[in-house]
Amino acid sequence: MWNRSPDRPKLMNLVERGAKFELDLCTAVMRSEVVVICVSTYANIKESFSPILPPEQPTCVINLTTGTSQQARDMETWLKSNGVQRYFDGAIMVTPELVGTEHSSMYLSGESAAAFSEVQGVLKPLGKAHYVAEDSGAASLWDVAALAAMNGMLTGGIVALNLLKRQRPDRGTEKAPATEPPMRQIVLPLLSTFVTHLADIARALDEEDWDENFGNSVSMQLKGLGTIMDTLREERVSTEGLELFQRLMQQTLKEKGEGAGLAVMGTYLLED
């Protein structure tokens, strides 16, 4: 085990539990066939390892540093050009405080499932490790896709909160109605019911079944969204957070017809 801040109390706790700590990175790498890396940025990896690679290259590197899919692929190329034989790139799906607990999970990609099974045990103290694909950038893609969906949901949620602030007070009071009750009673139940539908849309996307609308065609959904947009404008709430979704549905209606589903929208943001 090596860390750029050797005086951190948590490191001593790990040593007390049996970990071996090395002050020198070169020594730590030399004594390990499998090296697990987790630093702030991919640039930090090159900064730390450039002085020692080669000749002190490990057989296998498992990189858990947060980054983009292209950074993962570039790191694989760089490490292998410096003698590393196998490279896996991963994404930890919990906050640092939860690493090593029963709630901790991570997704990794690169090489092959068989090759990963040989080193998977190294990660067991950190949490559950799941292999996803041979593309070393896949785990980062999965991670960012999940975060993008989460942020999209939060965007809609923030629009909803702003709209709820427009509710008028009850008679005899000037206090604005609370936003928490409708969020808990209506918004969250609706979201929890609908969110699993995304996987159905993904299946239609994979099959390029643009007519699969699951009983709710794009023309119907556009009418519903139109009501939402009208309400936002009437209540003087910005429609900006939903305008991209509206444009994508309008494009779907134009190109695939009134009965189409939403799956084709999974291709509309791809750039050449």
Q: How confident is the model at residue 16 (pLDDT cuts 50, 70, 90)?
A: confident
Which of 81, 99, 134 lies at the terminal end of a domain, its last residue? 134
Contact between 109 and 136 (Cβ < 8 Å): yes
**CATH number of the CATH domain containing 116:** 3.40.50.720
Q: How confident is the model at residue 6 (pLDDT cuts 50, 70, 90)?
A: confident
Question: 94 vs 261, which has greater pLDDT?
Answer: 261
* pTM of the model as a whole: 0.87
Q: Is the pLDDT of residue 214 over 90?
A: yes
Is the backbone of residue 100 left (phi > 0), alpha (psi -120 to 50) or beta? left
Residue 40 lies in a domain: yes
Give CA–CA dist 35/17, Å, rounded: 19
Which of 134, 160, 194 lies at the terminal end of a domain, its last residue? 134
| Residues 231 and 162 grouped into a single domain | yes
Give CA–CA dist 177/268, Å, rounded: 39
Residue 4 lies in a domain: no
Q: What is the mean pLDDT of residues 163-191?
A: 95
**CATH number of the CATH domain containing 210:** 1.10.1040.10
Residue 2 lies in a domain: no
| Residues 203 and 254 grouped into a single domain | yes
| Residues 110 and 220 grouped into a single domain | no
**pLDDT value of residue 133:** 98
Question: 14 vs 130, which has greater pLDDT?
Answer: 130
Residue 44 lies in a domain: yes
**pLDDT value of residue 210:** 98
9-13, 68-72, 185-189: range with lowest mean pLDDT: 9-13
**pLDDT value of residue 7:** 84
Give CA–CA dist 141/203, Å, rounded: 18
Q: Residue-wise over 223-239: b if at least 16 C-beta within 10 A, else e?
A: eebeebeeebeeeebee
Which of 134, 151, 181 lies at the terminal end of a domain, its last residue? 134
Q: Which residues contact 17 (CB under 8 A, 6 or more apart)?
A: none
Q: Is the pLDDT of residue 116 over 90?
A: yes
Contact between 187 and 162 (Cβ < 8 Å): no
| Residues 30 and 122 grouped into a single domain | yes
Nearest one of 94, 99, 90, 97 to 37, comparing CA atoms: 90
Q: Is the pLDDT of residue 252 over 80?
A: yes
**Which amino acid is residue 189, in one-letter code?**
P
The count of structural domains within the chain is 2
Q: Is the pLDDT of residue 57 over 80?
A: no
Q: Domain of 64?
A: 9-134
| Residues 146 and 263 grouped into a single domain | yes
Q: How confident is the model at residue 19 (pLDDT cuts 50, 70, 90)?
A: confident
| Residues 122 and 191 grouped into a single domain | no
Residue 35 lies in a domain: yes
Q: What is the mean pLDDT of residues 197-217?
A: 97
Percent pLDDT > 70 in the chain is 100
**pLDDT value of residue 97:** 87
Nearest one of 139, 144, 147, 142 to 64, comparing CA atoms: 139
Q: Residue-wise over 120-156: b if at least 16 C-beta within 10 A, else e?
A: bebbeebbebbbbbebbbbbbbbbeeeeeeeeeeeeb
| Residues 97 and 162 grouped into a single domain | no
Residue 3 lies in a domain: no
| Residues 84 and 196 grouped into a single domain | no
| Residues 164 and 86 grouped into a single domain | no
Tens digit of each residue's pLDDT (9 = 90 or more) over 218-235: 999 999 999 999 999 999
**pLDDT value of residue 36:** 95
| Residues 179 and 218 grouped into a single domain | yes
Q: What is the mean pLDDT of residues 251-256?
A: 98
Nearest one of 192, 194, 201, 203 to 224, comparing CA atoms: 194
Query: What rounded mean pLDDT belongs to the chain?
Result: 94
CA 137 to chain centroid, in Å, comes to: 13
